[in-house]
A and B are shown apart, each in its own frame.
Chain A
Amino acid sequence: MSERAAALLPTQGTDYAAALAAPPLTNLRRIGGEMFAWTDRDPGRGPELPRGAVVRHLLAQFAGPDRAVLVAGPHADEVVTALADSGATVSWLLRSLGDAEDAARLHPDVTILAGAAGKLDPAARYDLVVAMDGVERLNSGEGEQLSGAELLDRLAAAVQPDGVLLLVHDNRFGLHHTVRLAPGARERQDAAWYAIDENDADRPASQEQLVGRLAEAGLEVNAAYAAFPQPATPTVLVGEGLLGNVSSPLRPRLGTALSQAYAAGFRGQPVLSDPRRLINRALLAGAEGTVAAAWLVIARAPGSDAAPAITGHELLIGDARGTFAYQVSSAGNEVRTTVLQPLEGPIERCGLRRISEPSAPGADVGYVLEERLLHLAGTDDLRNLRAELAQYDTWLRAQARDGVLTGPAALAGLADVFVSQTGLALLPTRWEPIEPVPLELAQIRAIWHFAVQVITSAQPHPWPVTSSAVDLTAVLLGMVGHSVGKDQLRAAAELHVALEAADQELSLAEQHDLRLRLLAVTPGTAPVDIAGYREVTEALWRQRYEASHLLAMMEWTEQMIQSRDLALSKVDWEVQFYRKTWAGRFLWVARSAYRVLARDGRKFLHGRRQRKAAAINPNDLR
């Protein structure tokens, strides 16, 4: 089509019939500033919708019958449904008119306010204001633009006396920003008409500043958490008592929980550096709050003194989707694990069953086996490495009955084992096999997976840098007197793929891809779960290191061949020289004659012996 024709192309008109046929939306109110031809529900155009079991659990404490709730900004439907199902009167502010119409149809009991936060009725007050999405999507593209600080004030003003604001505030210094490796990310996001402003001095940049800002807005923060690993889907919340406290007995559990959370939250994403190692360093420094993905605060507007106190949690862990959440707390010398919200129903996938009652050892002093092994490997302490592995081997064999393992121990990795003075114990895990797993298979999987982690994440170890995961598995198992074959390794990889597939809901094609990558882990392999740029460059370095040795070997071999060629050539020349002289020719004839005589002589003697024997025993010839 020519441009001239296109310039005159009339656009598609209104489908009045469809518009008239649509039922009226009585629960939708347009408050002004609503956006047309826009949606916040398309992950290709903007950030993910906030969700998560731990936040839902916190919300459930403040929602309920006769409670007025304002949900500010885009949220996952399950969050709003849960609030509405509690009997609360829910209003939901959405800037997109299209999203608002969909929400009004989907949630007939919820009042949908379509527009910008600046257009909210200034007189409206709520018992609970929910802003899990922060304030970033409360401005509309249309009309007046409020600053982040003004939007916080606007939310605070909507909380009535004794009411509560639950706010998740993105940490610009969080690991998720630091490790982000997404060139052109802003250009790909239609929601990013304003880029993240890193120079906004009025925006709270730390948990303390956030608490202070809300205090200025007239709210008192009763509970504050550091949220991990992503602001939109926090699965680990760290509260007062544990946050920044390196001597807390919950520290080892926190390390494991955060490592798992970051593995799940960044799986498949290209990053600058594996966030698990960075968060581990932050934990050692007690600085996890500084690099948290977000801060979640529960702030109350002053009112009567009779308002019930808000109790905080030390450590909350939950699913990204669904309701399952539990807390880990310390009481005296004991560590307790309490399920706060059970699974919505039994979950079985890939021959595995989701664990609904996570167990945890009661002892408070000890260490996580994987961290200890990494430390020993990094310090070349082979003696203690053998001792730790022997202890683990003994413990695992004690868990087996008739050579098979059942329950969580069958799928526990070395990061799931806690070592205390009273012995080894399992930390909370997520999956267990439906059918028992042979002991050897379970052990090989755990050790092999540890080896894969060591190799692909470039952890220091005492063995040759060119060792593969298979090499390391053989060494580690050999330390406790076991050997491993190719078939066993393949079976262990299959079991691991089943575990990953169950946890990540991988398709068959994704499982196949993962299986191939796991079986091909060599020194030059980058991590198979999180594609860290640092780890990729480490893998590249190892490839070059190995290649440099191969080149040196090739050069040496070439020199040797050349040397042998030279020697051979000289010998050949001598041989030819001797063949050409009379003496040489005589020697050659003599040698040939000798060979013929020797050969024929042997034949003659052999035949004569047989004939003599036949003459003595005539029957032997028949």
Chain B
Amino acid sequence: MHHANYHYGHAHLLARYCNLPEPLHPPRLQGYLQHGWNMGDGLAPGTPYVDGSRIFVWSEETRRRSWSQGRREVIVVGAPFAYLLELEPEPAGAPQPEGTIFYPFHGWEGQQISGDHQRLIDEVKATETGPVTACLYWNEYRMRGVRKIYERAGFRVICHGYRGFWWRDHNRTFLVNQLAELRKHRRVISNRLCSAVWYGALAGREVAVYGDPMVLDNADPTFGGEPRLRRQWPEVYGYQTDFDACHQLARQQLGADELARPDELRAYLGWPAATEFATATERDK
């Protein structure tokens, strides 16, 4: 339906959750899947939308907002990351997490960010006590200058990979790798509230948002911009935050309590029912 459904391996992960026979090659998803946490209607700005199509959003709050913006056929399914946690609960004997993973706010193909990376690094170094891993977005990771700044600060610099574009170059294990990295660390921080912070909170990590939020080129003020983030979710801001409050908020924002059962999710996404696969398999024998 839309190429963003395959970003971060979302469709592949849901196919795995739904027990589809070939999760690496999921069937077309009959609708638009929200591909990142946002405070708008669930769709990325500028997404060409076909009226009457389904929109699969992460939370009930996003569904309300989406309806208010004239969207219909909006279904709350929860975030793919929340499904991943269902599939891969933290093992009992997992090594003790340590240090901090830091997600500097990123732009994307259509909008770049501008801000002082060094000042941000200084603040992180002054606040965090353990080793720091800086996880850059793929386009910033490619910029040698930006990467060097973080490396010089003594940070371990990583990138979860390319999210894919136009049905090509998908990183099918993007979220799996991200979860593994999150679980290695005790804290998840960023300079702007974003999906990764909620993921960290849902995965049971301390989270904190602080530092210069930087400026996004041609930022869309329709939904209130960065100042609104700070006003509406103050619980995640500051050097130290309340773990339970943040975890609870993450459950709401990622729809962790709204997850569909596999058969239900197949029906929502327009994927064949399990019995149809069983029949096809029998026939092929």
- With A35-B68, A141-B65: A13-B232 Cβ-Cβ less than 8 Å: no
- Residue numbers in B under 8 Å from A192 (CB-CB): 67
Partner of A9, one of B61, B69, B110: B110
| Interface check B70, CB cutoff 8 A | yes
CB <8 Å contact, A14 and B219: yes
Q: In A7-48, which residues have CB < 8 Å from any B CB?
A: 7-14, 30, 32-33, 35-38
| Interface check B220, CB cutoff 8 A | yes
Return B3 CB to nearest CB of chain A, in Å.
Answer: 7
- With A10-B217, A13-B217: A32-B231 Cβ-Cβ less than 8 Å: yes
Query: Which residue of A is nearest B67, CB measured?
Result: A193
Number of B interface residues in the complex (CB < 8 A): 34
Query: Which residue of A is nearest B218, CB measured?
Result: A13
B interface secondary structure, majority: loop
- Residue numbers in B under 8 Å from A33 (CB-CB): 232
Partner of A141, one of B61, B228, B231: B61
| Interface check B48, CB cutoff 8 A | yes
- Residue numbers in B under 8 Å from A32 (CB-CB): 231-232
| Interface check A187, CB cutoff 8 A | yes
Q: How far is the CA of A57 from the CA of B186 in the complex (A)?
A: 63
| Interface check B116, CB cutoff 8 A | no
CB <8 Å contact, B68 and A10: no
CB <8 Å contact, B64 and A141: yes
Q: How far is the CA of A507 from the CA of B102 in the complex (A)?
A: 65
Return B19 CB to nearest CB of chain A, in Å.
Answer: 31
CB <8 Å contact, A6 and B46: yes
- Residue numbers in A under 8 Å from B166 (CB-CB): 4, 7
CB <8 Å contact, B68 and A187: no
- Residue numbers in B under 8 Å from A6 (CB-CB): 46-48
CB <8 Å contact, A142 and B61: yes
CB <8 Å contact, A38 and B218: no
Query: Which residue of A is nearest B74, CB measured?
Result: A193
Q: Mark A70-102, 1 if CB is under 8 A from B, else 0.
A: 000000000000000000000000000100000
Q: How far is the CA of A298 from the CA of B72 in the complex (A)?
A: 38
CB <8 Å contact, B61 and A143: yes
- With A143-B61, A190-B70: A36-B228 Cβ-Cβ less than 8 Å: yes
Query: Which residue of B is nearest A13, CB measured?
Result: B218
- With A9-B46, A191-B68: A142-B232 Cβ-Cβ less than 8 Å: yes
Find the residue from B64, B110, B111, B219 having the highest chain A CB count within 10 A. B64
| Interface check A3, CB cutoff 8 A | yes
- Residue numbers in B under 8 Å from A35 (CB-CB): 65, 68
- With A14-B225, A37-B222, A193-B63: A7-B69 Cβ-Cβ less than 8 Å: no
Q: Mark B195-238, 1 if CB is under 8 A from A, else 0.
A: 00000000000000000000001111111110010011000000
- Residue numbers in A under 8 Å from B224 (CB-CB): 36, 97
| Interface check B95, CB cutoff 8 A | no
| Interface check B45, CB cutoff 8 A | yes
Q: In A151-202, which residues have CB < 8 Å from any B CB?
A: 187, 190-194
Q: In A91-147, which residues have CB < 8 Å from any B CB?
A: 97, 141-143
Q: How far is the CA of A483 from the CA of B150 in the complex (A)?
A: 100
CB <8 Å contact, A11 and B231: no
| Interface check B276, CB cutoff 8 A | no
- Residue numbers in B under 8 Å from A194 (CB-CB): 64
Find the residue from B3, B111, B221, B225 having the highest chain A CB count within 10 A. B221
Query: Which residue of B is nearest A189, CB measured?
Result: B67
Q: How far is the CA of A6 from the CA of B225 in the complex (A)?
A: 22
CB <8 Å contact, A7 and B68: no
Partner of A3, one of B45, B48, B63, B65: B48
Q: How far is the CA of A283 from the CA of B78 in the complex (A)?
A: 51
Partner of B220, one of A4, A11, A142, A191: A11
Q: Mark B66-84, 1 if CB is under 8 A from A, else 0.
A: 0111101000000000000
Q: Which residues of A contact B (CB under 8 A)?
A: 3-4, 6-14, 30, 32-33, 35-38, 97, 141-143, 187, 190-194
14 chain-A/chain-B pairs, Cβ below 8 angstroms: A6-B48, A7-B4, A7-B110, A9-B110, A10-B218, A13-B219, A36-B223, A36-B228, A37-B40, A141-B64, A143-B61, A190-B68, A190-B70, A193-B65
